[in-house]
Amino acid sequence: MKIGVPKEIKNHEYRVGLTPMAVVELIHNGHQVAVETLAGDAIGFSDQQYIDAGADILGTASAVFDWADMIVKVKEPQAVERAMLKPSHTLFTYLHLAPDVPQTQDLINSQAVCIAYETVTDRNGHLPLLAPMSEVAGRMSIQAGAHSLEKAQGGRGLLLGGVPGVEPAKVVVIGAGVVGQNAVAMAVGTGADVVVLDKNTDVLRQMDKQYGNRIKTVYSTKEALDRHVIEADLVVGAVLIPGAAAPKLVTREMIGRMKKGAVLVDVAIDQGGCFETSKATTHAEPTYVVDDVVHYCVANMPGAVARTSTIALNNATLPFVLALANKGAKQAMLDDAHLLNGLNVCRGKVTYKSVADDQGLPYVSPADALELI
Catalytic site positions:
96, 270
What is the distance between the alpha carbons of residues 173 and 268, in angstroms, rounded to a whole number? 12
Q: How far is residue 229 from each of residues 69, 192, 215, 246, 324, measured CA to CA in Å? A: 48, 15, 16, 18, 44
- Tell me, letter by letter, the H, E, C secondary structure of 84-136: CCCCCCEEEECCCCCCCHHHHHHHHHHCCEEEEHHHCCCCCCCCCCCHHHHHH
Judge residue 130's burial from the number of C-beta atoms within 10 Å of its C-beta, 0-12 exposed, 13-18 middle, 19 or more buried: buried
DSSP 3-state of 196: strand
Planar angle of CA 39, 43, 45, nearest 5 degrees:
60
Strand partners, 195: 172, 216
Q: How far is residue 12 from each of residues 99, 116, 286, measured CA to CA in Å? A: 21, 21, 11
What is the distance between the alpha carbons of residues 206 and 126, in angstroms, rounded to a whole number? 17
What is the distance between the alpha carbons of residues 79 and 117, in angstroms, rounded to a whole number? 19
One-letter identity of residue 367? A
Report which DSSP code applies to 43: G
225 and 250 in contact (C-beta within 8 Å)?
Answer: yes
